[in-house]
Amino acid sequence: MAIGEDMISGRNIILTGFMGTGKSSVGRLLAERLGYTFIDTDEVIETRYGQAVHEIFRDQGEAAFREMEAALACELGAAEKQVIATGGRLMLDAPNAAALSRNGRVFSLWATPEEIVERVTKDTIAVRPLLAGSAPEVRIRALYEERRVGYARFTPVKTSGKTIAEVVQVLLDSIAALEA
């Protein structure tokens, strides 16, 4: 189903989900299709604070990074017509979820732990501090178990076996149904 600007309310679309589920790639294309601004929270933080996420973790600690995410969640919740790809834990913190849900529809992208291991270990661009060190697959499985209930609170979208364009189409159809 095609979706035109006149059909939509302008509410933000928030993408959450585990690292490697495709939030940024899907979000970028979805924003293009909706005529919305695309925001990647990790990228905004990196630009704003002048350091890569893994450097922030290393130099200032994870708690400082989580505060940066919380401040950004409040800001973004005040604007509209944005597709927001959130860092993997941002929406699991209740105040962030509240700030962004008020004016947004939230979808969680899902992939199996096996696919996540394959995607993140192949990703040579994003350095993920929580998966640093040996045996990232062990960390991924542990974190996945810890977080799955949190992600399950949002409307799920399976990405397994789908291309980015196919996931975007699923999202466009869901948004159109919600706006109808």
Q: Which residues contact 24 (CB under 8 A, 6 or more apart)?
A: 40, 85
105 binds ligand S3P (CB under 6 A): no
What is the closest distance, in whole angstroms, from the C-beta atom of residue 46 to ligand S3P in the complex? 10
Binding-residue total with ligand S3P (CB under 6 A): 11
Candidates 6-14, 82-90, 98-106, 156-164 — which segment interacts with ligand S3P by CB under 6 A? 82-90
Q: How many CB atoms within 10 Å of residue 121?
A: 14
Q: How many CB atoms within 10 Å of residue 63?
A: 8
Helices (H), strands (E): how many in the chain?
8, 5
27 binds ligand S3P (CB under 6 A): no
89 binds ligand S3P (CB under 6 A): yes
83 binds ligand S3P (CB under 6 A): no
Q: Which of 22, 27, 87, 104 binds ligand S3P (CB under 6 A)?
A: 87
136 binds ligand S3P (CB under 6 A): no
164 binds ligand S3P (CB under 6 A): no
Q: How many CB atoms within 10 Å of residue 94?
A: 9
What is the closest distance, in whole angstroms, from the C-beta atom of residue 82 to ligand S3P in the complex? 16
The CA distance from 161 to 126, in Å, is 22
Residue 110's H or E segment, with its range, is strand 104-110
Site of interaction with ligand S3P (CB under 6 A):
19, 23, 42, 53, 87-89, 126, 128-130
